[in-house]
């Protein structure tokens, strides 16, 4: 209840500022016809981004629902494992967050080549960082869990269970990072794109179906594996949508997948 109330308050604090932005009538330097088309576009963009975020966060709801059928402690193991395993992803996505204005400015100026180069470099570097973090999580999961949580009611058995789930979660870190990096490319032009929402919905469907089938025989590890598979499917769909050779428009930036893979394959 506290988490839900806090989330609602976070939204409520930002609503007044959002409303002022959406209803502002500041004169635009372009023709009035273009300005008239701008407001519906902005509303559609906000809707697309919110729906994408909602679909992505619903993964947690699906996992918790499936884990509610398991013995006591399963949801805690999922939660702790997920929070720790996602640290490498968060660190790697900081780069994409910092360079997002560069991509948006390049697209606004019509320089798609500069935007493409920046996105490809970000993808390669973020992927390399998260792969290193994934290896560290898989190798050191028991030690990390023991250091952070093993005290009081959190026993050695809980440590072993959480570490096992953490290792499975880590398999989806590359997909999580790619989704976080790629979605910026779709929305960086300031235009509504519904393909990312559809890709995320497809990933949620895979997570739900796979999790429902795997929770019985594999328990918590099956739920974590379903999460990794679902987010990987979403990442693959987003990569396909940005692949160079598809219809290129000002709505986003295409990428050369082979060049990104070549950057990743270079020795450190």
Using CA atoms, how far apart are residues 225 and 229, in angstroms rounded to an integer? 6
- What's the pLDDT at 32? 44
Look at residue 265 and give its three-state secondary structure. helix
CA distances from 73 to 57, 90, 95 (A): 22, 26, 35
- What's the pLDDT at 136? 93
H/E segment holding residue 266: none
Using CA atoms, how far apart are residues 83 and 104, in angstroms rounded to an integer? 30
Q: What is the 3-state secondary structure (H, E, C) of 53-105?
A: HHHHHHHHHHHHHHHCCCCCCHHHHHHHHHHHHCHHHHHHHHHHHHHHHHHHH
- 189 pLDDT exceeds 70? no
pLDDT tens per residue across span 148-182 = 999 988 999 999 999 999 999 999 999 999 998 88
Task: Round the CA-based radius of gyration of the chain to a whole number and report it.
Answer: 21
Strands (E), 83-203: none
- 194 pLDDT exceeds 50? yes
pLDDT tens per residue across span 27-77 = 544 444 444 444 445 777 778 888 888 888 888 889 889 998 888 888 989
Lowest mean pLDDT among 52-61, 202-211, 245-254: 245-254
- What's the pLDDT at 265? 67
Closest by alpha carbon to 57, among 239, 227, 229, 236? 227
**Alpha-carbon dihedral angle through residues 236, 239, 243, 246, given to the nearest 10 degrees:** 80
pLDDT tens per residue across span 75-104 = 989 999 988 998 988 888 887 778 777 777
Q: Which residue has the higher pLDDT, 21 or 76?
A: 76
Sequence-ordered list of residues with C-beta below 8 angstroms from that of 43, at least 6 positions apart, any chain: 22
Average pLDDT taken over every residue of the chain:
82
* 248 Ramachandran zone, left/alpha/beta (phi>0; psi -120 to 50): beta
Closest by alpha carbon to 120, among 28, 253, 265? 253
Average pLDDT over residues 121-134: 88
- What's the pLDDT at 264? 67
């Amino acid at each position: 209840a506290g988490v839900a109330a806090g989330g609602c308050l976070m939204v409520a604090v930002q609503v007044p500022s959002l409303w002022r932005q959406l209803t502002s009538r500041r004169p635009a330097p372009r023709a009035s016809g273009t300005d008239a088309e701008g407001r519906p576009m902005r509303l559609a963009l906000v809707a697309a981004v919110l729906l994408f975020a909602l679909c992505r966060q619903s993964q947690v709801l699906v996992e918790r629902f499936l884990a509610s059928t398991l013995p006591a402690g399963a949801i805690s193991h999922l939660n702790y494992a997920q929070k720790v395993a996602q640290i490498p992803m968060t660190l790697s996505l900081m780069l994409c967050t910092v360079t997002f204005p560069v991509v948006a400015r390049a697209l606004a100026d019509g320089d798609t080549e500069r935007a493409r180069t920046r996105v490809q470099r970000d993808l390669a570097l973020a992927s390399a960082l998260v792969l290193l973090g994934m290896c560290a999580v898989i190798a050191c999961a028991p030690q990390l869990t023991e250091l952070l949580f093993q005290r009081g009611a959190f026993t050695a058995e809980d440590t072993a269970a959480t570490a096992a789930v953490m290792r499975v979660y880590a398999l989806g870190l590359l997909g999580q990072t790619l989704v976080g990096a790629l979605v910026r490319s779709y929305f960086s032009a300031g235009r509504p794109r519904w393909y990312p929402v559809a890709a995320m919905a497809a990933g949620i469907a895979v997570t739900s179906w796979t999790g429902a089938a795997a929770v019985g025989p594999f328990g918590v590890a099956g739920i974590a594996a379903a999460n990794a598979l679902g987010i990987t499917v979403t990442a693959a769909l987003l990569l396909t949508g940005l692949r160079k050779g598809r219809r290129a428009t000002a709505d986003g930036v295409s990428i050369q997948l082979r060049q990104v893979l070549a950057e990743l394959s270079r020795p450190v």
